[in-house]
Structure 1
Amino acid sequence: MDEVSRTTTVYESHADAYAEKYRSESIAARFGDEFYEALSGERVLDVGCGPGSDTQTFSDDGFDVTGFDLTASFVEKAAADVPAASFARGDMRRLPFADGTFDGVWSCASFLHVPREDAPETLREFRRVLVDDGTLYLSLKHGDESGFDAAGRYFERYRPEEIRSLLDEAGFGTVSIDREDEKWIQALASV
Protein backbone atom coordinates (compact mmCIF):
# COMPACT_ATOMS: atom_id res chain seq x y z
CA MET A 1 0.00 0.00 0.00
CA ASP A 2 1.51 3.36 -1.01
CA GLU A 3 1.67 6.52 1.13
CA VAL A 4 -1.50 8.04 -0.31
CA SER A 5 -3.51 4.83 0.14
CA ARG A 6 -2.31 4.43 3.73
CA THR A 7 -3.20 8.05 4.50
CA THR A 8 -6.63 7.66 2.92
CA THR A 9 -7.24 4.55 5.02
CA VAL A 10 -6.46 6.52 8.19
CA TYR A 11 -8.83 9.33 7.18
CA GLU A 12 -11.54 6.83 6.23
CA SER A 13 -11.16 4.93 9.52
CA HIS A 14 -11.56 8.11 11.56
CA ALA A 15 -13.66 10.20 9.17
CA ASP A 16 -16.17 11.40 11.78
CA ALA A 17 -13.44 12.59 14.15
CA TYR A 18 -11.56 14.41 11.38
CA ALA A 19 -14.78 15.92 10.04
CA GLU A 20 -15.62 17.24 13.50
CA LYS A 21 -12.08 18.57 14.03
CA TYR A 22 -11.92 20.43 10.70
CA ARG A 23 -15.61 21.27 10.24
CA SER A 24 -15.33 24.92 11.25
CA GLU A 25 -11.67 25.47 10.33
CA SER A 26 -11.88 27.24 7.00
CA ILE A 27 -8.46 28.34 5.84
CA ALA A 28 -10.15 30.01 2.86
CA ALA A 29 -12.03 32.27 5.28
CA ARG A 30 -8.77 33.19 7.03
CA PHE A 31 -6.29 33.39 4.15
CA GLY A 32 -8.31 33.38 0.93
CA ASP A 33 -8.27 37.10 0.08
CA GLU A 34 -5.12 36.97 -2.08
CA PHE A 35 -6.45 33.89 -3.87
CA TYR A 36 -9.82 35.59 -4.48
CA GLU A 37 -8.12 38.71 -5.85
CA ALA A 38 -5.95 36.66 -8.21
CA LEU A 39 -8.84 34.66 -9.68
CA SER A 40 -9.91 35.51 -13.22
CA GLY A 41 -13.27 33.76 -12.88
CA GLU A 42 -15.55 31.89 -10.50
CA ARG A 43 -14.75 28.20 -11.10
CA VAL A 44 -12.71 26.78 -8.21
CA LEU A 45 -11.47 23.24 -7.59
CA ASP A 46 -10.94 22.48 -3.89
CA VAL A 47 -8.42 19.62 -4.13
CA GLY A 48 -8.34 17.49 -1.00
CA CYS A 49 -11.49 19.19 0.27
CA GLY A 50 -11.81 16.90 3.28
CA PRO A 51 -15.12 17.43 5.08
CA GLY A 52 -15.73 20.61 3.07
CA SER A 53 -15.04 23.63 5.28
CA ASP A 54 -13.19 25.54 2.54
CA THR A 55 -15.68 24.32 -0.07
CA GLN A 56 -18.44 25.82 2.09
CA THR A 57 -16.59 29.15 2.26
CA PHE A 58 -16.14 29.28 -1.52
CA SER A 59 -19.80 28.38 -2.05
CA ASP A 60 -20.98 30.99 0.46
CA ASP A 61 -18.82 33.58 -1.31
CA GLY A 62 -20.54 32.88 -4.64
CA PHE A 63 -17.98 30.71 -6.39
CA ASP A 64 -18.83 27.75 -8.63
CA VAL A 65 -16.86 25.27 -6.53
CA THR A 66 -16.08 21.59 -6.96
CA GLY A 67 -14.83 19.68 -3.94
CA PHE A 68 -12.50 16.78 -4.69
CA ASP A 69 -11.10 14.19 -2.28
CA LEU A 70 -9.95 10.58 -2.22
CA THR A 71 -11.66 9.81 1.10
CA ALA A 72 -15.20 8.65 0.27
CA SER A 73 -16.62 9.56 3.69
CA PHE A 74 -15.34 13.12 3.35
CA VAL A 75 -16.91 13.52 -0.09
CA GLU A 76 -20.25 12.16 1.18
CA LYS A 77 -20.20 14.43 4.24
CA ALA A 78 -19.17 17.51 2.29
CA ALA A 79 -21.81 16.88 -0.39
CA ALA A 80 -24.51 16.66 2.29
CA ASP A 81 -23.30 19.82 4.03
CA VAL A 82 -22.64 21.95 0.93
CA PRO A 83 -25.46 21.16 -1.52
CA ALA A 84 -24.67 24.13 -3.78
CA ALA A 85 -21.24 22.70 -4.63
CA SER A 86 -20.31 19.83 -6.92
CA PHE A 87 -18.19 16.95 -5.66
CA ALA A 88 -16.05 14.20 -7.12
CA ARG A 89 -13.94 11.47 -5.59
CA GLY A 90 -10.49 10.55 -6.83
CA ASP A 91 -6.73 10.87 -6.62
CA MET A 92 -5.27 14.35 -7.17
CA ARG A 93 -2.36 12.78 -9.02
CA ARG A 94 -4.81 11.98 -11.85
CA LEU A 95 -7.56 14.61 -11.94
CA PRO A 96 -10.71 13.54 -13.85
CA PHE A 97 -11.39 16.99 -15.30
CA ALA A 98 -10.87 18.42 -18.77
CA ASP A 99 -8.02 20.79 -19.55
CA GLY A 100 -8.77 24.41 -18.59
CA THR A 101 -11.85 23.63 -16.50
CA PHE A 102 -11.07 25.84 -13.49
CA ASP A 103 -10.04 29.43 -12.81
CA GLY A 104 -8.49 28.43 -9.51
CA VAL A 105 -7.16 25.33 -7.78
CA TRP A 106 -7.13 25.44 -3.97
CA SER A 107 -5.04 22.76 -2.29
CA CYS A 108 -4.99 23.39 1.43
CA ALA A 109 -3.04 20.84 3.49
CA SER A 110 -3.67 18.09 0.94
CA PHE A 111 -0.84 18.17 -1.63
CA LEU A 112 1.45 17.49 1.34
CA HIS A 113 0.17 13.89 1.41
CA VAL A 114 1.58 13.24 -2.09
CA PRO A 115 5.01 11.55 -2.07
CA ARG A 116 7.84 13.74 -3.36
CA GLU A 117 8.39 11.54 -6.43
CA ASP A 118 4.78 12.23 -7.50
CA ALA A 119 4.87 15.97 -6.75
CA PRO A 120 5.99 17.22 -10.20
CA GLU A 121 3.30 15.29 -12.08
CA THR A 122 0.63 16.29 -9.54
CA LEU A 123 1.49 19.97 -9.98
CA ARG A 124 1.35 19.50 -13.77
CA GLU A 125 -2.15 18.05 -13.28
CA PHE A 126 -3.14 21.17 -11.31
CA ARG A 127 -1.74 23.30 -14.14
CA ARG A 128 -3.55 21.23 -16.78
CA VAL A 129 -7.02 21.80 -15.31
CA LEU A 130 -6.46 25.55 -14.91
CA VAL A 131 -7.36 28.15 -17.52
CA ASP A 132 -4.47 30.06 -19.08
CA ASP A 133 -4.64 32.83 -16.47
CA GLY A 134 -5.51 30.49 -13.60
CA THR A 135 -4.34 30.60 -9.99
CA LEU A 136 -3.09 27.90 -7.63
CA TYR A 137 -3.00 28.04 -3.83
CA LEU A 138 -0.96 25.52 -1.83
CA SER A 139 -0.66 25.17 1.92
CA LEU A 140 2.22 22.87 2.88
CA LYS A 141 4.23 21.75 5.87
CA HIS A 142 7.66 23.35 6.14
CA GLY A 143 10.77 21.33 6.87
CA ASP A 144 13.17 18.66 5.70
CA GLU A 145 11.77 15.53 7.32
CA SER A 146 9.00 13.59 5.58
CA GLY A 147 7.20 10.48 6.73
CA PHE A 148 4.25 9.13 8.67
CA ASP A 149 2.83 10.78 11.78
CA ALA A 150 1.71 8.85 14.87
CA ALA A 151 -1.77 8.39 13.37
CA GLY A 152 -0.34 6.83 10.20
CA ARG A 153 -0.82 9.78 7.81
CA TYR A 154 2.00 10.54 5.37
CA PHE A 155 3.33 14.12 5.23
CA GLU A 156 5.83 15.51 2.75
CA ARG A 157 7.61 18.63 4.01
CA TYR A 158 9.22 21.28 1.80
CA ARG A 159 11.42 24.33 1.94
CA PRO A 160 10.17 27.47 0.12
CA GLU A 161 12.86 27.23 -2.57
CA GLU A 162 11.83 23.63 -3.35
CA ILE A 163 8.21 24.65 -3.87
CA ARG A 164 9.23 27.58 -6.05
CA SER A 165 11.33 25.25 -8.24
CA LEU A 166 8.60 22.60 -8.49
CA LEU A 167 5.99 25.21 -9.46
CA ASP A 168 8.31 26.67 -12.08
CA GLU A 169 8.94 23.22 -13.56
CA ALA A 170 5.17 22.57 -13.67
CA GLY A 171 4.55 25.66 -15.80
CA PHE A 172 3.52 28.22 -13.22
CA GLY A 173 4.73 31.79 -13.57
CA THR A 174 4.47 34.28 -10.76
CA VAL A 175 4.91 32.61 -7.42
CA SER A 176 4.38 34.20 -4.02
CA ILE A 177 5.53 32.18 -1.02
CA ASP A 178 4.83 33.10 2.59
CA ARG A 179 5.66 31.37 5.81
CA GLU A 180 2.61 31.45 8.08
CA ASP A 181 4.75 30.23 10.97
CA GLU A 182 7.58 27.76 11.53
CA LYS A 183 5.43 24.81 10.42
CA TRP A 184 3.53 26.03 7.33
CA ILE A 185 4.21 27.48 3.89
CA GLN A 186 1.58 29.14 1.72
CA ALA A 187 2.21 29.45 -2.01
CA LEU A 188 0.16 31.38 -4.54
CA ALA A 189 1.08 30.74 -8.17
CA SER A 190 -0.32 31.95 -11.46
CA VAL A 191 -0.19 30.38 -14.87
Structure 2
Amino acid sequence: MTKPDIDDTLIFYRDNAATYAGRERRPPAARLDAFMRKLAPGAAVLDLGCGGGHDSLALLQGGLDVTACDGSAELAREAEARIGRKVDVVRFQEIDWRDRFDGIWAEASLLHVPRAELGDVLARLRHALRPRGVLHASFKAGEAEGRDRFGRYFNYPSAAWLRARFEQADWSEVGIREADGGGYDGEPTRWLYVSAIRAG
Protein backbone atom coordinates (compact mmCIF):
# COMPACT_ATOMS: atom_id res chain seq x y z
CA MET A 1 0.00 0.00 0.00
CA THR A 2 1.27 3.48 -0.78
CA LYS A 3 1.86 5.96 2.02
CA PRO A 4 -1.54 6.75 3.53
CA ASP A 5 -2.95 10.21 2.90
CA ILE A 6 -4.50 10.96 6.26
CA ASP A 7 -5.80 14.24 4.90
CA ASP A 8 -8.40 12.15 3.06
CA THR A 9 -9.70 10.99 6.44
CA LEU A 10 -9.83 14.55 7.76
CA ILE A 11 -11.67 15.60 4.60
CA PHE A 12 -14.33 13.00 5.37
CA TYR A 13 -14.79 14.39 8.88
CA ARG A 14 -14.75 17.97 7.57
CA ASP A 15 -17.48 17.25 5.04
CA ASN A 16 -19.59 15.05 7.34
CA ALA A 17 -18.98 16.60 10.77
CA ALA A 18 -22.59 17.53 11.53
CA THR A 19 -23.94 14.15 10.43
CA TYR A 20 -21.21 12.19 12.20
CA ALA A 21 -21.52 14.16 15.45
CA GLY A 22 -25.30 14.33 15.36
CA ARG A 23 -25.97 10.63 14.90
CA GLU A 24 -27.64 8.71 17.68
CA ARG A 25 -24.70 7.24 19.56
CA ARG A 26 -24.68 5.99 23.10
CA PRO A 27 -21.33 6.26 24.88
CA PRO A 28 -19.84 2.83 25.73
CA ALA A 29 -21.01 2.82 29.33
CA ALA A 30 -19.22 -0.35 30.49
CA ARG A 31 -15.84 0.73 29.07
CA LEU A 32 -16.25 4.27 30.39
CA ASP A 33 -17.15 2.97 33.86
CA ALA A 34 -14.13 0.64 33.91
CA PHE A 35 -11.87 3.52 32.87
CA MET A 36 -13.31 5.95 35.43
CA ARG A 37 -12.97 3.42 38.25
CA LYS A 38 -9.20 3.58 37.77
CA LEU A 39 -9.17 7.34 38.39
CA ALA A 40 -9.60 9.54 41.45
CA PRO A 41 -12.48 12.04 41.55
CA GLY A 42 -11.57 15.16 39.59
CA ALA A 43 -8.69 13.45 37.78
CA ALA A 44 -7.36 15.17 34.66
CA VAL A 45 -8.37 13.24 31.54
CA LEU A 46 -7.61 13.74 27.85
CA ASP A 47 -10.39 12.67 25.47
CA LEU A 48 -8.21 12.10 22.43
CA GLY A 49 -10.06 12.27 19.13
CA CYS A 50 -13.29 13.21 20.88
CA GLY A 51 -15.40 13.30 17.70
CA GLY A 52 -18.80 14.75 18.49
CA GLY A 53 -18.06 14.94 22.22
CA HIS A 54 -20.42 12.17 23.37
CA ASP A 55 -17.80 10.48 25.56
CA SER A 56 -16.38 13.82 26.76
CA LEU A 57 -19.82 14.68 28.12
CA ALA A 58 -20.04 11.34 29.94
CA LEU A 59 -16.58 11.85 31.44
CA LEU A 60 -17.51 15.37 32.58
CA GLN A 61 -20.71 14.06 34.12
CA GLY A 62 -18.54 11.51 35.92
CA GLY A 63 -16.78 14.35 37.73
CA LEU A 64 -13.52 14.33 35.79
CA ASP A 65 -11.48 17.32 34.60
CA VAL A 66 -11.70 16.74 30.85
CA THR A 67 -9.56 18.16 28.09
CA ALA A 68 -11.17 17.26 24.77
CA CYS A 69 -9.35 17.40 21.45
CA ASP A 70 -9.78 16.29 17.87
CA GLY A 71 -7.77 16.55 14.66
CA SER A 72 -10.80 17.90 12.80
CA ALA A 73 -11.67 21.55 13.43
CA GLU A 74 -15.20 20.88 12.24
CA LEU A 75 -15.74 18.01 14.67
CA ALA A 76 -14.17 20.08 17.45
CA ARG A 77 -16.83 22.74 16.90
CA GLU A 78 -19.56 20.10 17.03
CA ALA A 79 -18.12 18.76 20.29
CA GLU A 80 -17.92 22.27 21.76
CA ALA A 81 -21.64 22.70 21.14
CA ARG A 82 -22.35 19.42 22.94
CA ILE A 83 -20.15 19.85 26.01
CA GLY A 84 -20.22 23.65 26.38
CA ARG A 85 -16.48 24.16 26.58
CA LYS A 86 -13.49 24.67 24.31
CA VAL A 87 -12.20 21.69 22.35
CA ASP A 88 -8.58 21.81 21.17
CA VAL A 89 -7.73 21.06 17.54
CA VAL A 90 -4.66 18.80 17.75
CA ARG A 91 -3.39 16.12 15.41
CA PHE A 92 -1.87 13.01 16.94
CA GLN A 93 1.62 13.81 15.69
CA GLU A 94 1.48 17.28 17.33
CA ILE A 95 0.84 16.06 20.88
CA ASP A 96 3.41 17.61 23.19
CA TRP A 97 1.82 17.61 26.64
CA ARG A 98 4.13 16.48 29.45
CA ASP A 99 3.03 14.90 32.73
CA ARG A 100 -0.37 16.56 32.30
CA PHE A 101 -3.04 13.86 32.57
CA ASP A 102 -4.05 11.04 34.90
CA GLY A 103 -5.89 9.25 32.12
CA ILE A 104 -6.24 9.23 28.35
CA TRP A 105 -9.44 8.05 26.68
CA ALA A 106 -8.79 7.21 23.01
CA GLU A 107 -11.96 5.45 21.87
CA ALA A 108 -11.87 4.76 18.11
CA SER A 109 -9.31 7.47 17.41
CA LEU A 110 -5.79 6.01 17.31
CA LEU A 111 -7.05 3.58 14.68
CA HIS A 112 -6.51 6.40 12.16
CA VAL A 113 -2.77 6.78 12.93
CA PRO A 114 -0.56 5.45 10.10
CA ARG A 115 1.16 2.23 11.15
CA ALA A 116 4.62 3.75 10.61
CA GLU A 117 3.78 6.62 12.99
CA LEU A 118 1.91 4.77 15.72
CA GLY A 119 5.01 4.06 17.84
CA ASP A 120 5.91 7.76 17.98
CA VAL A 121 2.34 8.75 18.84
CA LEU A 122 2.17 6.14 21.61
CA ALA A 123 5.41 7.52 23.06
CA ARG A 124 3.96 11.04 22.95
CA LEU A 125 0.88 9.85 24.81
CA ARG A 126 2.94 8.12 27.47
CA HIS A 127 4.82 11.38 28.10
CA ALA A 128 1.50 13.23 28.33
CA LEU A 129 0.48 11.05 31.29
CA ARG A 130 1.64 11.39 34.85
CA PRO A 131 3.34 8.33 36.39
CA ARG A 132 0.80 5.52 36.89
CA GLY A 133 -1.53 7.27 34.47
CA VAL A 134 -3.89 5.01 32.54
CA LEU A 135 -4.84 4.77 28.89
CA HIS A 136 -7.81 3.22 27.12
CA ALA A 137 -7.73 2.85 23.34
CA SER A 138 -9.69 0.90 20.76
CA PHE A 139 -8.79 -0.30 17.27
CA LYS A 140 -10.49 -2.14 14.44
CA ALA A 141 -8.66 -5.45 14.11
CA GLY A 142 -7.04 -6.67 10.90
CA GLU A 143 -3.76 -7.69 9.34
CA ALA A 144 -2.94 -4.78 7.00
CA GLU A 145 -3.73 -1.07 6.84
CA GLY A 146 -6.51 0.00 4.51
CA ARG A 147 -9.63 2.11 4.02
CA ASP A 148 -13.33 1.72 4.70
CA ARG A 149 -16.10 2.41 2.20
CA PHE A 150 -15.99 6.12 3.10
CA GLY A 151 -12.30 6.35 2.21
CA ARG A 152 -11.16 6.75 5.82
CA TYR A 153 -7.71 5.31 6.61
CA PHE A 154 -7.44 2.62 9.34
CA ASN A 155 -4.31 0.89 10.62
CA TYR A 156 -6.22 -2.41 11.19
CA PRO A 157 -3.71 -4.09 13.55
CA SER A 158 -3.62 -7.62 14.88
CA ALA A 159 -3.52 -7.99 18.66
CA ALA A 160 0.08 -9.25 18.54
CA TRP A 161 1.27 -6.40 16.31
CA LEU A 162 -0.48 -3.84 18.50
CA ARG A 163 0.93 -5.25 21.74
CA ALA A 164 4.44 -5.02 20.28
CA ARG A 165 3.93 -1.34 19.41
CA PHE A 166 2.80 -0.53 22.95
CA GLU A 167 5.64 -2.45 24.55
CA GLN A 168 8.21 -0.83 22.26
CA ALA A 169 6.87 2.57 23.37
CA ASP A 170 7.53 1.55 27.01
CA TRP A 171 3.95 1.10 28.14
CA SER A 172 3.35 -1.23 31.09
CA GLU A 173 0.58 -3.66 32.05
CA VAL A 174 -0.68 -3.79 28.47
CA GLY A 175 -3.97 -5.65 28.24
CA ILE A 176 -5.86 -6.32 25.00
CA ARG A 177 -9.42 -7.60 24.90
CA GLU A 178 -11.23 -8.55 21.70
CA ALA A 179 -14.94 -8.27 20.99
CA ASP A 180 -17.31 -8.12 18.04
CA GLY A 181 -19.21 -4.93 17.34
CA GLY A 182 -19.95 -2.36 14.69
CA GLY A 183 -19.09 1.16 13.68
CA TYR A 184 -20.18 4.19 11.70
CA ASP A 185 -19.86 2.27 8.44
CA GLY A 186 -22.43 -0.28 9.60
CA GLU A 187 -20.08 -3.21 8.97
CA PRO A 188 -19.47 -6.07 11.44
CA THR A 189 -16.22 -5.25 13.20
CA ARG A 190 -13.74 -7.10 15.40
CA TRP A 191 -12.53 -4.59 17.98
CA LEU A 192 -9.35 -4.56 20.04
CA TYR A 193 -9.66 -2.77 23.38
CA VAL A 194 -6.34 -1.80 24.93
CA SER A 195 -5.58 -0.78 28.50
CA ALA A 196 -2.10 0.31 29.51
CA ILE A 197 -0.24 2.25 32.20
CA ARG A 198 2.68 4.66 32.26
CA ALA A 199 4.88 2.97 34.83
CA GLY A 200 7.28 5.79 35.54
SS state at 1:93 partner: helix
1:68 is matched with 69
Paired amino acid for 1:117: A
Deviations 1:91-114 (A, max 9, x none): 0122143x1100011111110111
Instruction: Tell me the distance in 2 between the aligned counterparts of 1:14 and 1:65.
Output: 25
Paired amino acid for 1:188: S
Q: Is the CA contact (8 Å cut-off) linking 2:44 and 2:102 kept in structure 1?
A: yes
Instruction: Tell me the distance in 2 between the aligned counterparts of 1:164 and 1:34.
Output: 20
1:4 offset after TM fit, Å? 2.1
Higher mean C-alpha displacement, 7-16 vs 86-95: 86-95
1:189 offset after TM fit, Å? 0.3
1:175 offset after TM fit, Å? 1.1
Instruction: Tell me the distance in 2 between the aligned counterparts of 1:93 and 1:55.
Output: 21
Paired amino acid for 2:197: S
Instruction: Tell me the distance in 2 between the aligned counterparts of 1:38 and 1:170.
Output: 22
Instruction: Tell me the distance in 2 between the aligned counterparts of 1:6 and 1:96.
Output: 24
Instruction: Tell me the distance in 2 between the aligned counterparts of 1:2 and 1:9.
Output: 14
1:86 offset after TM fit, Å? 4.4
Paired amino acid for 1:156: N
Instruction: Tell me the distance in 2 between the aligned counterparts of 1:112 and 1:3.
Output: 14
Paired amino acid for 1:122: V
Q: Is the CA contact (8 Å cut-off) linking 2:136 and 2:195 kept in structure 1?
A: yes
Deviations 1:138-187 (A, max 9, x none): 11011113212121110111111112111111121101110022610000
Q: Is the CA contact (8 Å cut-off) linking 1:3 and 1:114 kept in structure 2?
A: no
Q: Is the CA contact (8 Å cut-off) linking 1:107 and 1:137 kept in structure 2?
A: yes
Q: How many residues align?
A: 187
2:144 is matched with 145
1:37 is matched with 37
Q: Matched residues, percent identical?
A: 31
2:183 is matched with none
Instruction: Tell me the distance in 2 between the aligned counterparts of 1:139 and 1:8.
Output: 19
Instruction: Tell me the distance in 2 between the aligned counterparts of 1:107 and 1:150.
Output: 23
Which TM-score applies when normalising by structure 1? Answer: 0.91
Instruction: Tell me the distance in 2 between the aligned counterparts of 1:88 and 1:96.
Output: 13
- Unpaired stretches in structure 2, ≥5 consecutive residues: 181-188
Q: Is the CA contact (8 Å cut-off) linking 1:69 and 1:91 kept in structure 2?
A: yes
Give 1:14-53 correspondences, 5 Å limit: 14-21=16-23, 24-27=25-28, 29-39=29-39, 42-53=43-54
- Unpaired stretches in structure 1, ≥5 consecutive residues: none
Paired amino acid for 1:185: L
Higher mean C-alpha displacement, 181-190 vs 32-41: 32-41
2:197 is matched with 190
